[in-house]
Each structure stands twice: as structure tokens, then as C-alpha cells.
Amino acid sequence: MNFGVPKEIPPFKETEEYRVGLTPQGAQELVLCGAKVFVESKAGEGAGFLDADYEKAGATVVFSKEEAYRRADVVLKVRKPQQDEYSMIREGQTIMGFIHLVTVRKEFLNLIADKKMTLIGYEIMQDIDGRLPIVVPFSEMAGRLAVQIAGRLLESPNGGRGILLSGVPGIPPAEVVILGGGTLGCNAAKTFAGVGANVYVLDVERDKLENLACQAVNLKITTMFATRYNIEKLVQFADVVIGAVLVRGKRAPVLVTQEMVKTMHKGSVIIDFSIDQGGCFETSKVSPSGKFIYTVDDVIHFCMPNATTLVARTASHALTSSIFPYLKMMTESGFEFTLRENHVVASGVYAENGEIKKEFLP
């Protein structure tokens, strides 16, 4: 089995992508299993991995993106291929990465059919019990990262309200509202509460709210059902609102309208981690210029589709650790066998030999 690891191309002009589809440690383990790994030169540089690290691991460093594609049976990406990569994809090739098919352009859908590609999306790979094993560590990271992002955006020089998340004796802490009580929402809630903020978590599922309440007995976290009434009421006094809504393979539902955004304090902050799947705020957008921090109705928005690239080394290690068991099985038992016998890998198939599964079409 030959794996290709191209250097990621930033999705937009003003954004960067520092993550890499496979770390040197992952490459070494695959080589020990009998695979060949072809890594584009400087593919891991943004995450702190040098070409020499890959060579020491037994991988072959190639000096063009095209070669990383051409020599691979399976291409290991972080994000879906960008337009400049389309011509490099071989007919019948397999691409693995965070694809988010629901938000792709028609041009890419046509490419899948024309190239007879097999496309495996990390974001829809699912255990029998419904857990998303690749998404979970990224949701954990994003949830914990939210505190860093919100703290900086609330600072006065950035146009924020000038509020300290924790407050100080005699001065109340920030009010933080989190939409979604899944992995990302839980991690965000515990991290915000850990620094002293007042936290409210809303979800439509009672089990998620109960689970969070049990985990956070000694923290200032209030759980509520995600009704329109509750959302309208809470965003009016929130200093930070986090979008942490995920519907597997589907567009995120819009929970906060522009009219609700208009009721928020000047300089308050929205962080929409659902932006990869369309966003859960009506005012969320992905700008073609790549400007992912912008202001609407005096409210600061953070809508970065690849937010964990801010902690690229951690993210790359987490990705490799999560996908390695499946890559190992492909190497030792063959791709077709893995696709047929491994439920998690099979559940991640957006398209097989160019045939797109209809339930994931935008």
C-alpha cells in the first residue's frame, strides 16, 4: 500500500494551513507495517516536522505535490483537495480527509465522478455506537481552544468589550453561551468555567445536558434546552456565544438569526465552530478573501473553517493517532477488505469509484 502526504494548500488567500495529514511517527509505524509513504517536501513544516524527520522514519520525501499524488494509492489529506490539486488526482484514487461534502462546489462533485474517486471523510466516520472517532479529538481541541480565542477577541485593542473572562473580586466574570452539548460544547464549557466564567450550555438532547451536569458538579455551568425562547433570552446578555452544533454529514441548522445578533452587546464575540458545515448563526460566513474575523452589527465574529490549525502540531498528532488503526488495517489486509469489513471506514465513504452517496449531497 502506497500512501501520499501532500503539503496542504490554504483554503483561502489570507488564511494558512499548518496541519499535515500524517506525522513522522505515523509514517514510521506504517513503514514498519510494510507500507510506502511519500511525503511532499515541507509538508509538515508548519507543524514543526522537518523533511529529515520523515526520512528518518523511513518515508520518501518527494519534491513536488504532483509526485506525492501520482505515487499514492491513498492520499492522506487534512482538508479536501483545493482547485490547484484537481489535475494531480489519478483516476480511481482514494482521498481521505475532512471533506465536508455538503459545502463543496459543484465542480468538485463533477470531479469525483470524472476521476472515479473514492472519497472518505473523517468527519462522518462513525462507530457502531454512533461516536465519531476522528471528530472527537478535534472537537476536544476546538472546545479548549475557544477560551484562548475568546479571551483575545474580548480585549479592548481588538474591538472587544474589554472584559476579563474570569472577572476579579467585586467585578463579575464574562457570560458565555454555548450552543451544543456534545464533545466540543462540553470541553468548551468546562474550560470556560475553569477560568471562572459564567457558562450556559444549550442542547436539544436531555442526555447530553445530564452528562455535562454530572461532569461539572463544582463548576458554574447552567444547562438549558435549546428552545428559540431560551436562545433569544441568553444571547442578549452574552459576552461570548459559541456555535458547537454538529449534524453528521448535513448542513448545520441556523439557531441564531441576525435579529438576535442585533440584540447583543457591542464588542461581544461569536465563535462559530460549525462554519465548516455552513454555520449555525445567520451572520456566519466564509469570506473568499479568507477574512475569518469580522464584525456584523458591532458583534465580533470568528468563523475560521480550520481553527485547529492554530495548534497545528497537536492537531496533526491527534489526527495521526485517530486514523492510524484504519491505515494499518489497509496496509496489512488490503484496502478493499478494510472497506468491506471495517464499519468505521465504510461509514466514512462519501463516494466509491466515482459514485456519490446521495444522502451526503448538498
Classify residue 163 by burial, with Cβ atoms within 10 Å: 0-12, 13-18, 19+: buried
The pLDDT, as a whole number, for residue 361 is: 62
One fold for both 2-131+311-360 and 135-309? yes
**Has 100 been annotated as catalytic?**
yes
The pLDDT, as a whole number, for residue 16 is: 84
User: pTM here?
Assistant: 0.90
| pLDDT tier, 69 (very low <50, low <70, confident <90, very high otherwise) | very high
| pLDDT tier, 360 (very low <50, low <70, confident <90, very high otherwise) | low
Q: pLDDT tens, 104-148?
A: 888 898 999 999 999 999 999 999 988 999 999 999 999 999 999
Q: pLDDT tens, 186-214?
A: 999 999 999 999 999 999 999 999 989 88
Helix (H, G, I), strand (E, B) or coil at 90: coil
Residue in the structure block whose three cell numbers are 455538503: 102
The pLDDT, as a whole number, for residue 251 is: 87
Q: pLDDT tens, 213-225?
A: 888 777 889 999 9
The pLDDT, as a whole number, for residue 14 is: 65
Marked catalytic residue, from 51, 100, 272, 301? 100
- Which CATH number applies to 2-131+311-360: 3.40.50.720, 3.40.50.300, 3.40.50.40, 3.65.10.10? 3.40.50.720
Nearest to 244 by CA among 148, 174, 177: 177
| Cα 80 to Cα 97, 122, 133, 201, distances in angstroms | 6, 10, 19, 31
Angle at 224 between CA 218 and CA 227, to 5 degrees: 165
Biggest CA pair distance of the chain: 65
**Has 276 been annotated as catalytic?**
yes
- Where do the structural domains in the chain lie, given as residue ranges? 2-131+311-360, 135-309
Report d(CA 331, CA 33) in Å as an integer.
Answer: 7
Mean pLDDT of the chain: 94
The pLDDT, as a whole number, for residue 106 is: 85
Distance of CA 127 to the CA centre of its chain: 18
Marked catalytic residue, from 51, 53, 203, 276? 276
Residue in the structure block whose three cell numbers are 471562572: 196
Say what percent of the chain tops pLDDT 90: 85
- Lookup: cell for 161: 468589550
Sign of the alpha-carbon dihedral angle for 358, 359, 361, 362: positive
Residue range 94-103: average pLDDT?
90
Exposure string (b/e) for 297-309, b if CB count within 10 Å is 16 or more? eebbbbbbbbbbb
The pLDDT, as a whole number, for residue 10 is: 85
Superfamily of domain 135-309, CATH level 4: NAD(P)-binding Rossmann-like Domain (3.40.50.720)
Cβ atoms within 10 Å, residue 72? 23
Which residues are CB-neighbours of 244 under 8 A, at least 6 positions away? 139, 142, 143, 178, 179, 180, 181, 182, 184, 185, 188, 273, 274
| Cα 154 to Cα 146, 267, 336, distances in angstroms | 12, 7, 50
